[in-house]
Chains A and B, each alone.
Chain A
Amino acid sequence: MQVLSRLAVLLLSLMVASMAVFAVVNVLPGDPAAVILGTSASPQQIADLHRQLGLDRPAWLRYLEWLGGLIRGDFGVSLISKQPILPELQGRALVSVPLALFAMFLALAVSIPLGIVAGVRYRSLSGSLISALSLGGIAIPAFWAGLLLVTIFAVQLHVLPAGSFVPWEESPVGALRSLLLPSIALGLVQGAVLTRYIRSAVIEVQREDYIRTARSKGLTRGQALRRHGLKNAAIPVVTILGLQLTSLLVGAVVIENVFYLPGLGRMLLDAVRNRDLIEIQDLILLLTATVLVINFATDLSYRLLDPRIRASR
């Protein structure tokens, strides 16, 4: 029941977000044709493009058509390449989605052990060291990390590609190799942020009364943390994880441009540069929808983890 109402909120949010995107692109500045053609195109050119884009029809109708198309899986046709957008989108997603997943996996693989160690030993040197490193990691822009990795592994050592992508169909191994450095760059920085949150969650949890209770039952510190602490610590971390996934998604947009990966981020940037408004509209909504869905999933998993919330409405 609660899940259904959350789902309704998600759908409503998606609607509103799509309206917002459509409004910014189509309504706010006035004329998309002028946007595409530049500020001072000739009236004839603008009129031509108007017809081509169907701009002579009311905005609400075009909005509904766009939305209807999206629901039917018709993402429209790129203004620049004149190709349908959906197949391109699908091809690009084969780069971006694995990239984001690898990076997230890496971030978790790094941050969970480090965060727990730093949390358990927060008073010792190793804990402080991890903490300081992660604070540094937060400050490092992922694209700079990418550049440094390229300098070391591609330019100096020649062991990994500096960019470009080998399509999966041609060579899965090659594709993985292409995604390795970008995933590391993205994952390490995200991992630093996560480490910090896991660390504080673990520290907080260790001070909880129920950990003391658990120890009073005869559990060692480690057992108490494992059996009673981690699930509790996971609750705030999951919330952060949702936010982190979002920032990872945005980070992927940037990192794709560092490594020249033909993913959604590169597509978006090219669309922005070429003012391919149809593509921009689709891509921004797609990414925003992903953010909303991630938030929704976070909300759900939060409920699964915490019986207190599960019970109350």
Chain B
Amino acid sequence: MRLLRAATLPILLILALTGCQSGGGNAGASPGATGKDKIVVGFVQGPTSLDITSDATASIATMLRDNLYEGLLRTDASGVLIPQLATGWDTTPDGKTYTFHLRSTNWQDGTPFTAQDVKFSWDRARDPQNKPANPHLDYWAPVSSVDVVDDHTVKVSLKQYSDNFLFRMAQGSAAIIPKSTHVVSTNPVATNLATQPVGTGPFKFSTYLPNTSLTLVRNAAWWGPKPRLQQITFRFITDANAMNNALKAGDIDAIAQLGGPEQLPSFKSDNNFRILEGAPAGKLMVAYNNSKGALKDVRVRKAISMAIDKKAWIDGVFAGYAVPIGSHAVPNVTEPYYVDENQVNKYDPTEAKKQLAAAGYASGLTLHLAEVSDFPYAVRGGDILNSELKAVGVTLQIDTMTFNDWLHTVFLPPQDYDLTIINHVEPRDIGNYANPKYYWHYDNPQVAQMVLQADAEQDQAKRKSMYATVQKQLADDAANGYIMSPKQIDVIRANLRGYPEKRLSTSLYLAKAYFS
């Protein structure tokens, strides 16, 4: 379960995958920045803070995790957890205690990295009183204590085994921050890391122009092999067209997550560029308020799910660059428990009408859609949904709102809405179904229990089958209108090597990148 706090509002991982237009302007890049050892990468959105442990904007993790900040471990492209600041770790058989052996290295400001920093970082992250709060407070829910064994050894005790724990410690917000320099400033929402980030990674902070660009330079003292790039500039370009054009014009060298997939054909035909079609990530869905009015009736929810033509959405919203999903899981390495539930509630307007009639809405039904106008996918999806629901006799009232409004009316209490289109990009978030107060208001005690049990289950096969049962139940209940998982698509200059080929959205590791 993920908690969102008012203090970290204008954020959210959901921003990540799709060209979100909120928050700030953008800028182009220096022409001819394709120098041998400098790279300019285009991002849709800049971070609101440079403190990776206080900002849940997905872009900050992608830009800074593994490049500037490091964690004890990281996920490689195949989803395998590999050592980073930890050289290795031991687990007790009950899975409740982890002992991390730490690398001997220095912070970018020259002070040594020790176990104290780890304890400081994680104790701080799991403290709900801390401000600014870690956006993923729930990652540390299973943790009972973090103890320093010696300068280079740290022991973490869990209340019970958690399958997700290590995976989550590889995420951005679990990065280790320096205790010595981390002085909380008087500003309640920012630390000194927010403007002067210090990490242990291959690149260190240089300059940050809000809404324009963030520049990192090589950290010569890094523990790993010397990065070939001298400088990385992340440039923020909100609009998909402007971004594509900047790449074509040579202003940038790569687009991290293409905003407008419909423009891919123009890159495909051009030998100067390579399209990196990554794994599907995120769950784009029509979320249902399971506790409201007609939507309490499973037949109505099923009817809406059946009215949705996933193929039309995949083509119309993501130009085909997405895979259909039938439940709350995506077919990629981060969610190995994925099962295909696309057979449930298949597109069938006739059956949808029957279900509605059975539920007593033969003469029609009016539902409200909370549409986030900041997200192109939500706007396009809203138009499609409107047309599809009209075909089965449901009238859609579209209420457009900003993402900020959405957070405060739909996601956070009062959670007053019927339907909303949203893309959940956080991996392994199926646990949200265990929380009946989550904005879907899905309340199924068996599912809730099974989700919690699955995370504590050490047996892989058993765990997998538990998750499969949950997925099946969610599909059968039509808990939400699951539609598709959009693919991670990066477009890069053809002579750029060492760029993560099939990256997960969690980080963009550039220590190995270079121009040929």
Contact = CB atoms under 8 A, between A and B. Distances in A.
To the question of whether A and B form a pair in one complex, the answer is yes
B48 interface: yes
A5 interface: no
A263 B24 CA distance: 10
B22 interface: yes
B345 interface: no
Interface stretch (A164-172, A218-226, A293-301): A164-172
Contacts of A41: 408, 412
A37 interface: yes
Contacts of B49: 82
A38 B408 contact: yes
A90 interface: no
A83 interface: yes
B28 A165 contact: yes
Interface stretch (B98-106, B152-160, B237-245): B237-245
A162 B189 contact: no
B245 A39 contact: no
B251 A164 contact: yes
B245 A154 contact: yes
A62 to B, nearest CB: 20
B27 interface: yes
Interface in B31-88: 31, 48-49
B414 interface: yes
A161 B245 contact: yes
A39 B30 contact: no
A170 B30 contact: yes
A119 B135 CA distance: 66
A38 B9 CA distance: 12
Interface string A169-210: 011001000100000000000000000000000000000000
B404 A88 contact: no
A48 interface: yes
A22 B437 CA distance: 38
B242 A164 contact: yes
A258 to B, nearest CB: 10
A85 to B, nearest CB: 11
A260 B26 contact: yes
B249 A161 contact: yes
A262 B30 contact: no
A40 B408 contact: yes
Given A37-B408, A158-B248, A164 B187 contact: no
Interface string A229-259: 0000000000000000000000000000001
B402 interface: yes
A171 B30 contact: yes
B28 A178 contact: yes
Given A164-B28, A164-B242, A260-B25, A38 B404 contact: yes
B22 A274 contact: yes
- Residue among A150, A161, A261 with most chain B CB within 10 A: A161
Interface stretch (A66-74, A126-134, A265-273, A305-313): A265-273
B237 to A, nearest CB: 5
A80 B9 CA distance: 9
- The B contact surface, by secondary structure, is loop
Contacts of A82: 48-49, 187, 189-190
B445 interface: no
A95 B243 CA distance: 18
A83 B47 CA distance: 12
Given A48-B6, A161-B246, A162-B241, A40 B25 contact: no
B318 to A, nearest CB: 21
- Residue among A154, A263, A273 with most chain B CB within 10 A: A273
A235 to B, nearest CB: 40
Nearest to A158: B248
Interface in B237-266: 237-239, 241-243, 245-246, 248-249, 251
Contact of A262 (B211, B402, B416): B211
B341 interface: no
B336 interface: no
Interface in B180-217: 187, 189-190, 209-212
Given A161-B246, A164-B27, A260-B238, A273 B408 contact: no
Interface in A4-37: 36-37
B250 to A, nearest CB: 10
A175 B235 CA distance: 15
B164 to A, nearest CB: 29
B342 interface: no
Nearest to A272: B402
Contacts of B401: 38
Given A171-B30, A171-B31, A174-B31, A163 B6 contact: no
B269 to A, nearest CB: 13
A164 B237 contact: yes
A40 B30 contact: no
Contacts of A216: none
B374 interface: yes
Given A82-B48, A171-B30, A273-B22, 12 more contacts: A42-B412, A42-B413, A45-B6, A82-B187, A161-B245, A161-B251, A164-B26, A164-B28, A167-B28, A262-B27, A266-B25, A267-B25
Instruction: Please provide the 10 A-B residue pairs with the shortest distance between their CB atoms, ordered closest to farther.
Output: A262-B25, A163-B242, A38-B408, A164-B28, A164-B242, A260-B242, A162-B245, A170-B30, A166-B28, A260-B239
6 contacts: A38-B408, A41-B408, A161-B242, A260-B26, A270-B22, A273-B374
Interface of A: 36-42, 45, 48, 80-83, 88, 91-92, 150, 154, 158, 161-167, 170-171, 174, 178, 259-263, 266-267, 270, 273-275
